[in-house]
Amino acid sequence: MANSYDRIYAVVRQIPAGTVATYGQVAELAGLMGKPRVVGYALYKVAPEDEIPWQRVINAKGEISTSAFRDGSDDLQRILLEDEGIEFEGNKINLSKYRWQPSPEMIGAIDFGNDDTADSSG
């Protein structure tokens, strides 16, 4: 299971500290264009042992979705981000400053756990 998931995780893991990426951003890189829902849903299943920096993933509004679904602390994410050096403007983040700029090398460095699709040669 998880054909699209692995991709999402792979992308999210590439997000460097001090930067934040939006769902659309991750989705796009993960090849889930137009399906930001899947990205969020994927992170939903993310476990603290997956070593996935889900905290660096926020919505397009630059806000933290916040939901008492995880560790029970909505602030948790903010705390983690602040610890990375990210500043909060009120309750939002300046995407213009912390927006993760995926470098072409990054995208290529991402290891997509493909199963059947594709074939590469060529």
Partner DNA sequence: CAAATGACGTTAC
Partner DNA sequence: AGTAACGCCATTT
Positions that interact with DNA (CB under 7 A): 1-2, 4-5, 22-24, 34-41, 43-46, 54-55, 57, 59-61, 65, 67, 69-70, 77
Least spacing, CB of residue 50 vs DNA, in Å: 10
Q: Report the 10 Å Cβ neighbour count for 23.
A: 24
Residue (105 or 116) nearer to DNA, CB = 116
Residue type, 113: G
Smallest gap, in angstroms, from Cβ of residue 122 to DNA? 25
User: Which residue number, 71 or 87, has a Cβ lying nearer to DNA?
Assistant: 71
33 contact partners, CB below 8 Å, separation of at least 6: 27
